[in-house]
Amino acid sequence: MKHPRGALAVVLLCLNLGVAYAEDHHAHAPAPDGRAVLELDPDERAMIQEEMRLFLSGVLQMTAVRGKPDMPAVADAARNLGQKMVHEVPPTLRAKLPLEFRQLGFSVHRDFDQITHFAESLKEVSYSLNQLSDTRQNA
């Protein structure tokens, strides 16, 4: 693994989320493994999973620093995961998401906007990767 710090952020974020899906559980009741369950339609579930794959793809772009860091590319990847992503969630789906989930989501999107800001101003790849790693503290 060329970029263990970035990979760690991805793995820890996903391990700590504490949320699962199931269509045969009551909303927000705990799953057998203790995670909360979101009751979503298949389309809504697909939308969340798509968002997750966007997260993963953006994080991979940000950590794909080979030799010479491409800070504009880091900033662009982070910007795509920032608050602008929030506006793409339909109100009906948003209404089904527990407060804790939405707060975590907002916090992580805000973190990505911060990463964009410093990638453009400081242009220091190690700073950006540290910020990415710290983002998992919120998740």
What is the binding site for ligand HEM (CB under 6 A)?
Answer: 10, 13-14, 17, 19-21, 49, 52-53, 55-56, 59, 101, 104-105, 108, 139
Angle at 80 between CA 126 and CA 20, to 5 degrees: 95
Give least dist CB 104 to ligand HEM, A: 4
Nearest residue (CB) to ligand HEM, 55 versus 67: 55
Of the pair 2, 53, the CB lying nearest ligand HEM is at 53
Closest to ligand HEM by CB, 34 vs 67, is 34
Q: Which helix (H) or strand (E) holds 21?
A: strand 19-21
Contact 6, 129 (CB under 8 A): yes
Of residues 14 and 122, the one with the C-beta less far from ligand HEM: 14
Burial status of residue 23 (CB atoms within 10 A of its CB: 0-12, 13-18, 19 or more): exposed
Name the minimum Å distance from CB 16 to ligand HEM: 9
Nearest CA to 112 out of 63, 76, 60, 64 is that of 76
Cβ 26 to ligand HEM shortest distance, Å: 16
